[in-house]
Amino acid sequence: MFGLEEAYDGGEAFVKELEEDVGAECGKLGAVKKVRVHPKSADCVVTVAFENVDPAHECVELMHGRYFGGRRVHASIWNGYELFPQNTELIEQLEAKRLDDFGRHLDGDEGGDEGDAGFK
């Protein structure tokens, strides 16, 4: 449903918007208790908890194989204890790029207005 770079760059605003979008779509099937985006998970996981089990099964049928945000969705019923490992290598690369970009900004390599310190 999303890519790690997209989640990393978008931060909390991206996570909140995706949770709202998924909650609205899944809410058409039944009462949703909670939607959680796992922004650092290697498989870019989003979990949805329903008040009842029937809408959860309907959601899997509806969402599995569907495209969301240009990505194909794999939907399944969570077993309740499986962990969602993080893609630490990509996260470290994104953090290194962010720090490099910030360093270049501090050195004045971005060509912005002098003296604005990056504020608009």
Contact 14, 1 (CB under 8 A): no
Cα 20 from chain centre: 12
Q: What is the pLDDT of residue 29?
A: 96
4-106 folds as: Alpha-Beta Plaits (3.30.70)
Q: What is the pLDDT of residue 115?
A: 46
Dihedral of the alpha carbons of 80, 12, 3, 101, in degrees to the nearest 10: -140
DSSP for 31-90 reads -EEEEEE-TTBTT--EEEEESSHHHHHHHHHHHTT-EETTEE-------SS----B-HHH
Mean pLDDT by 10 residues, the chain (120 residues): 81 92 95 91 87 95 90 86 66 75 78 44
Q: Where are the domains of the chain?
A: 4-106
Q: What is the pLDDT of residue 116?
A: 44
Sign of CA dihedral 15, 69, 23, 66: negative
**CA distances (Å), 90 to each of 8, 41, 96, 103, in order?**
10, 10, 10, 20
**What pTM value is reported for the model?**
0.65
Q: What is the pLDDT of residue 10?
A: 84
Q: What is the pLDDT of residue 104?
A: 84
